[in-house]
Structure 1
Amino acid sequence: MESIVSRVLDHVDIQILDWLQKDGQLSNLEISKRVKLSAPAVHARIKRLESDGYIKNQVAILNHEKLGFDLLCFVFMSTNVHEAEKLSSLEKSLYSMKEVMECHCLTGEYDYLLKVACRDRKGLEEFIRRLNEIGVTKIQTSLALREIKDSTFLPILED
């Protein structure tokens, strides 16, 4: 079994992570000025934070409405599949569905919660049909009327 060594993050690491999540386009030089380290030292820390898994990915977050995805949906779903191999297959199917932005395994009444982006009602109908084909037994879909808060920000710095 692979051993995972968890390094303790110091205050500078936390500051770097905080700045990166506020603005992922900041250069190493800009961050270095803010945390009072050299740009090469900041670069080395960012690479270490990436390799240690603290930074999962750096991406552009797109505006779904401007790109024609008018429906943002939250789909609660249950399945009667409980065998490990079949569950793995179901989860791989969910993972591969391009409409699924997020998928969470839950406790409680439903087994999964999906965050789904569809262009229109027909797209949502087709998506739900595909869910029924992979062994989903119960679906409850809620449409987001508007976003109040949409954030990827973790409050890692104490006030």
Structure 2
Amino acid sequence: MYLDETDYRILQLLQTNAQLTIKEIAAEINLSITPVHDRIKKLEREGVIEKYVTILNKKRLGKGLTVFCNVTLDKQQRENFQEFSEAMLQMPEVVECCVVSGTFDYLIKIIATDVESYHNFYQEKLATLKAISHISSFFVMSEVKSTTSLPI
């Protein structure tokens, strides 16, 4: 799909504030409402815009601990990858999970209330998965940058 400067500008505005109305976007980019509406619908249809979400403040919700884990599976077999991936999808504490190259197999991001709740998650959920041979946990001390906006 070909995207022009106007499409990119619309995407930048929506990444900044998904609650902008079509009228507000049209005014910002000096275009009438109908073409802006058509462009947004096309971006949605083509899958460039996947969904609209609300970003919550973790700390205000009592979820002040972010942990990154490096996970190594005992055997790099399709069944182990599939089993682990399916388990990650069932754990609401896991907010991101990526298969990576290098010295470990997965990088996962976990949001927890505190160290104790992470410890319970670790012992009762993560460490009980049979395919895991090693887990390294890294506790976030402070966030320098956290964004959902893609560089476009």
TM value normalised by structure 1: 0.88
In the alignment, which residue of structure 2 is the partner of 1:12? 6
Give structure 2 stretches of 5+ with no counterpart.
none
**Which structure 1 segments of 5+ residues have no match?**
1-6
TM-score w.r.t. the length of structure 2 is 0.92
Q: CA deviation at 1:121?
A: 2.0
The offset of 1:87, in angstroms, is 1.6
Find the counterpart in structure 2 of residue 30 from structure 1.
24
What is the SS of the residue equivalent to 1:66?
A: helix
Per the alignment, residue 125 of structure 1 pairs with 119
Q: Paired residue for 1:142? A: 138
Q: Percent identity?
A: 34
1:4-153 equivalent positions in 2, closer than 5 A: 7-129=1-123, 130-134=125-129, 135-153=131-149
Cα distance in 2, alignment partners of residues 33 and 81 from structure 1: 56
RMSD of the alignment, in Å?
1.3
List per-residue Cα deviations over 1:16-47 (Å, max 9, x = no partner): 00111111111100001122222222122112
Q: Distance in 2 between matches of 1:128 and 1:140?
A: 11
Question: Where has structure 1 moved over 3 Å in runs of 4 or more?
Answer: none
